[in-house]
Amino acid sequence: MSEYIEARFEVLDERFSGVGGDGLVERLCTGCRWTEGPVYFAAGRYLLFSDIPNDRLLRWDETTGAVGVFRAPAGYTNGHTVDRRGRLVSCEQGHRRVARTEHDGSVTVLAERWNGRRLNSPNDVVERADGSVWFTDPSYGIDSHYEGHRAESEIGACHVYRVDPATGEVRAVAQDFDRPNGLAFSADEQCLYVADTRRKHIRLFDVADDGALSGGEVFATCDAGSFDGLRLDALGRVWAAAHDGVHCFDADGTPLGKLLLPEVVSNLVFGGPKRNHLFITASSSVYALRVNFNGVAYPR
């Protein structure tokens, strides 16, 4: 049975004053240890999300409201995305790899090493229209046994990577992060936003046709804990998970407002047929709110 809490929007800039939606936020699920990686499958009308310490991937059915186990054990999966062919792409912290689940249920490994060395623990992932897969690789899954398997880093640093769609080459595209985490492309995929959890900010890069990054200036800083997952809406605003809820920034970096929640937010995704159903993973729970704006539509 779903529970509801008041939807609390905090306005920091007058441009945010019209942002809203349902008066109540629905809690779809609770009782987890640390929820992450929400990903919405439009074709099946369901949401998948990770419960990392319990090593399981859960599924919420939009048509029935039921929540069940989709996969367990799940390799301590963290972030996910759906590629242009409708396949699940997952960051498996326990297996220290990025993997794709094919339509027949088989699993294809997309990345597990860089320069011959094992990755740390891939965290979040997105796909570009050219088929390249981009992911962050902090050390959370190897720091302890809580979200993976404790181990020494073979790389000795935490980078952002790109997997070439033609060759499968894993290339480090940014090597000056402390703990890279959430990442998201602009609507035209010419810019990439990446959160650095330890530095408590979001950086903005320009993306060349070959995937090379330039720039990397600080786009926004966090005033409540640190940033985690990122998403963009159709107006180019950046929505970032933080400790007190979801923070919204204008494309120029101005803080516009917040959606306040009672738990530490880890990630978010826009779903539904109109991309106006906002799903949020936060500590032990998953929340949902129908909003009066839409998630970004990327090139196909």
Q: Residue 1 has what pLDDT?
A: 60
Q: What are the φ and ψ backbone dihedral angles of 143, each rounded to 5 degrees?
A: -70, -30
Beta bridge mates, 232: 238
Cα dihedral sign, 265-180-295-16: positive
pTM above 0.95, yes or no: yes
Q: Beta-strand (E) ranges in 227-264?
A: 230-232, 238-242, 245-249, 255-260
Q: For residue 138, is the peptide bond before it cis, meaning its omega torsion is within 30 degrees of 0?
A: no
Dist CA 243 CA 223 (whole Å): 9
Judge whether 13 and 249 are in contact, CB under 8 Å. Answer: no
The tokens for 13 are 């800039």
Q: CA dihedral defined by 20, 84, 133, 247, rounded to 10 degrees? A: 0
pLDDT 10s digit of each residue in the chain, 300 long?
Answer: 679 999 999 999 999 999 999 999 999 999 999 999 999 999 999 999 999 999 999 999 999 999 999 999 999 999 999 999 999 999 999 999 999 999 999 999 999 999 999 999 999 999 999 999 999 999 999 999 999 999 999 999 999 999 999 999 999 999 999 999 999 999 999 999 999 999 999 999 999 999 999 999 999 999 999 999 999 999 999 999 999 999 999 999 999 999 999 999 999 999 999 999 999 999 999 999 999 999 999 998
Judge whether 58 and 71 are in contact, CB under 8 Å. Answer: no
Q: What amino acid is encoded at 124 in this protein?
A: D
Q: What amino acid is encoded at 209 in this protein?
A: D
